[in-house]
Amino acid sequence: GAGVSQSPSNKVTEKGKDVELRCDPISGHTALYWYRQSLGQGLEFLIYFQGNSAPDKSGLPSDRFSAERTGGSVSTLTIQRTQQEDSAVYLCASSSQPINEQYFGPGTRLTVT
Amino acid sequence: GDSVTQMEGPVTLSEEAFLTINCTYTATGYPSLFWYVQYPGEGLQLLLKATKADDKGSNKGFEATYRKETTSFHLEKGSVQVSDSAVYFCALSGGATNKLIFGTGTLLAVQP
């Protein structure tokens, strides 16, 4: 079946612009995670969604970052007023339940110039 | 807070050599432990996992044993191949969300 998909695969934006990154989880997976992979910080957790519960936003690095998940499926990560330190690969993962294996998408490479 | 420490790379080996990549963790409670692999140009894939002490995870000739007494989860393979060249990440998860906490990754380069 289809895996986790993310779009766009690459995004180049100017400093100060807003960007939206999209994640389509595996159908039926209720848990969805966003992570960030950067040279300086390695792989770090950003935010977690589970069903209709309130998301765990504890990993978001600043209030410029937000995410939503509509209808328990597609998720959008929004970064406002992008900064150069936001340059990274943003990874999305989903699992059928939090305790189960997380399947990762191919990532979106964000470059802020 | 919880954390994972793994040996820095790059690790360069000849084909058929023995591989060990060290990983230790700090965690409250009883986390699950994982090794993920990222092949060049590809996404993260789960390589193996262990969910409780003394469990051994294995896959594709790789093994790792969950050692609670030494808080370790070292990755081993008896005979590496060129196709094993990749970045390997040790990770733990736990708590209500089971979010993954990753080590810094170890680049493995296997030469023919």
Q: Quote the CA–CA distance of A48 and A66 in Å, as a whole number.
A: 11
Judge: B103–A101 Cβ closer than 8 Å, yes or no.
no
pLDDT of residue B42: 86
Of B27, B44, B87, B110, give the one whose Cα is nearest residue A6. B44
**A107 has a chain B CB within 8 A of its CB:** yes
Q: pLDDT of chain B along its 112 residues, tens only?
A: 889 999 888 999 999 999 999 999 999 888 999 999 999 888 899 999 999 999 999 999 999 999 999 999 999 999 999 999 999 999 999 777 889 999 999 999 999 9
Q: How far is CA A5 from CA A22, A23, A27, A68, in A?
A: 8, 6, 11, 16
What distance in Å separates the CA atoms of residue B105 and residue B110, rounded to the nearest whole number? 16
A-chain residues near B98 (CB < 8 A): 31, 95, 98-99, 102
Contacts A–B by Cβ distance under 8 A: 45
Chain A residue numbers with beta carbons less than 8 Å from the beta carbon of B42 are 106
Pairing of strands B11-14, B106-111: parallel
* pLDDT for position B43: 87
State the pLDDT at residue A85: 94
User: For residue A1, what pLDDT is reported?
Assistant: 58
Instruction: Check if B29 contacts A (Cβ < 8 Å).
Output: no
A106 touches B: beta carbon within 8 Å:
yes
Q: What does each of the 113 residues of chain A score in pLDDT, given as a tens digit?
A: 589 999 999 999 999 999 999 999 999 899 999 999 998 778 999 999 998 888 999 999 999 999 999 887 999 999 999 999 999 999 999 998 767 789 999 999 999 99
Do B49 and A101 count as a contact with CB atoms less than 8 A apart?
Answer: yes
Lookup result for tokens 């934006």: A13
| Contact call for residues A26 and A103 (beta carbons, < 8 A) | yes
**Residue A67 in contact with partner chain B when CB distance is under 8 A:** no
> Is A106–B43 a contact, with Cβ atoms under 8 angstroms apart?
yes
Phi, psi at residue A85, to the nearest 5°? -70, -5
